[in-house]
Structure 1
């Protein structure tokens, strides 16, 4: 049964153009960053988060809760893409929490995803306990990285020696980033293909870091710099000035975008970052957990990493997803999936061979049993099914079945998403 709004509230799907800024301020204001009258920022969000997709709950005083879902393509292991509902923009006024308003908007987003033929919903979550209740599980992970470049350096054999990036800016930076990201995403399970207008931010005011902070791409700093290597790679960054008590430079370089189509390009971009004068530390908010950087450093102990959960998945069409991705080993498993909202509820037979898989509903006794949030977490192979089984989140008739899933599901590259939507 779908949740209903409490008395005194209404909901609109498709925000009128003249009230879009009110909707945006309601959403981003809940996170402390309302764009207000910043026309460039509001214009960016209007293009990337269009009013016709927005949902708002209102009372007599105006909008009090928001949500939206966007049309995106989601990259599965093997490079195939499936249509996804990118759920974001969830907020509720702090005086109205625990009233069920967010439950109403999420229920509508899930029903809309099913109506539109989306295979899954996805989002980055603000609070871990909330989203499991709605069927989401953490499927991608990343490292937040701080590099003390005064105490470590790159090995001499890091690829890309002699390859120097060139300075780019504005529209050129935008186009290079878009092309490189398209190539990079095709080989990275978990990536989400953004609309072209997402890269408009690289053509916006390079002196203003506010949009990047709101998009969780970087912190504050000086003017944005962009360096590119052909159509193979681009790095953007800001430098936060700092000086020691002895007046020695101790600047922090904050990486915003790090896009590389191959290891040689990635090595050349890291060589550039490590070579910049007056830098004490390099900070990267998101780096793949299997990134080669730690092995390219002379002393990786001075690369401090903090693992964080990235994209959370809520499955809608289980057979479509399990049939579309590639598999790393041959095998067959029967899965029983529980879903309170009904979308993924059922028993499924997965058969994989020669890298491909097929999945259909079945009535056999299950080898593995779990709720939909657990299946979302292990879908890409970035979250261990064995670990979830030990925690009780997955029930297995035979422990070998859990190990078989992990053997089949683990992709060549760790699942990763490099930006939030």
Structure 2
């Protein structure tokens, strides 16, 4: 149940179109990223984050807090999907913090997700401690990477040597990226399908890096956007910031924005293309899977500088729906007790896996594992080992072999990964 707010506040569910810009500015200003005057940026937000899904708390001065949930499908190990709510647009004006406004809106997101039959909430929180308190846990990780081209090099056996990319722009680039993503996303647990409006950013003015910065959570530089496609199999977009050494040799930095590959040969062709671009000494990639094959395709991996960070957080609402829908790597049975201070996922659940197919239901038997809902969200896709939580004291088990069994059952063929943050 959502908490009752002080009388000076009013809850708004569904933002009026004539107040959408005001609501958007409240959100973005809290992130130190005010909207600005570029109509393409406003249109991107309006299409991708529709007013009808917005939530807010208002006071006498206007919008005091914002939030939103988007409908999406989450890819589980094995390729099946479950419906989830993407939580985004969370903000609170600094003058109204610590008054329960964000808690109020988050609780409404959970209520709405349950009402709409969503099995979980998925998001990428701006601040780790806040969402952990509400039962969210980091379920997938990614590596930001800086590549020194002159020292790393590509091995001759990298696949895709006979494939040639072609350049695309505008609407063709938008359609190409969407097609490749559609062809690849079910092969990777942790993926979320972006709203249709998300792809419109690839059809906008390529001289502006603002929309690309929104998707990479970084600075893609001010160079013109370039796009190249391997039809149906691969898509890459990037910007090059020119640079020169002290000896006036070219030393530009290539900032990758989109990197989509439906198979290993297509990925190899994309890397061959990027490594061969003239006047570039470094490639920066904001998000790569933690098990990306590039590490084994270069001649010297010490010149791949990586920074690991959380990529996807999950807050489970319907435990049996998620555990029954995913494919498991090994057979076995486990009973898991889940603690959830907000009640949505609390209970004891019996999981039985036969030939990789799981069935899960509530039970009253004693558990093999005991953990909170945030920890279950972290380990449910197999991207975060349960054994680490056991050593940290956040999973309790009478016999540690139960935890090892979970990891043997839960670890997927490919590491969970989320291509795009919303």
Fold match by TM threshold 0.5: yes
Match of 2:421, SS? coil
Per the TM alignment, residue 217 of structure 1 is displaced from its structure 2 partner at its CA by 5.0
The residue number in structure 2 matching 1:325 is 326
Is 1:257 aligned with 2:291? no
Identify the range of structure 1 (388-397 vs 1-10) with the bigger mean alpha-carbon deviation: 1-10
The gaps in structure 2 that reach 5 residues or longer are none
> 2: distance between equivalents of 1:243 and 1:57?
50
CA contact (8 A) 1:21 1:36 kept: no
Match of 2:150, SS? coil
CA contact (8 A) 1:139 1:312 kept: yes
> 2: distance between equivalents of 1:210 and 1:31?
15
Is 1:232 aligned with 2:233? yes
The residue number in structure 1 matching 2:116 is 116
CA contact (8 A) 1:218 1:256 kept: no
Identify the range of structure 1 (205-214 vs 141-150) with the bigger mean alpha-carbon deviation: 205-214
The gaps in structure 1 that reach 5 residues or longer are none
Is 1:14 aligned with 2:14? yes
Per the TM alignment, residue 186 of structure 1 is displaced from its structure 2 partner at its CA by 0.8
TM-score, structure 1 normalization:
0.98
The residue number in structure 2 matching 1:71 is 71
> 2: distance between equivalents of 1:335 and 1:356?
17
CA contact (8 A) 2:183 2:232 kept: no
> 1: distance between equivalents of 2:98 and 2:286?
31
> 1: distance between equivalents of 2:235 and 2:215?
19
The residue number in structure 1 matching 2:386 is 385
Per the TM alignment, residue 182 of structure 1 is displaced from its structure 2 partner at its CA by 1.1
The residue number in structure 2 matching 1:275 is 276
Is 1:200 aligned with 2:200? yes
Identify the range of structure 1 (285-294 vs 218-227) with the bigger mean alpha-carbon deviation: 218-227
Match of 2:216, SS? coil
Per the TM alignment, residue 57 of structure 1 is displaced from its structure 2 partner at its CA by 1.2
TM-score, structure 2 normalization:
0.98
CA contact (8 A) 2:216 2:257 kept: no
Match of 2:420, SS? coil
Match of 1:340, SS? coil
CA contact (8 A) 2:145 2:286 kept: yes
> 2: distance between equivalents of 1:345 and 1:215?
34
> 2: distance between equivalents of 1:181 and 1:215?
15
CA contact (8 A) 2:15 2:55 kept: yes
Per the TM alignment, residue 292 of structure 1 is displaced from its structure 2 partner at its CA by 0.3
CA contact (8 A) 1:221 1:241 kept: no
Deviations 1:49-81, CA, capped at 9 Å, x for gaps: 110110111111111210000011110001011
Identify the range of structure 1 (25-34 vs 304-313) with the bigger mean alpha-carbon deviation: 25-34
Per the TM alignment, residue 386 of structure 1 is displaced from its structure 2 partner at its CA by 0.4
Is 1:365 aligned with 2:351? no
Per the TM alignment, residue 6 of structure 1 is displaced from its structure 2 partner at its CA by 2.9
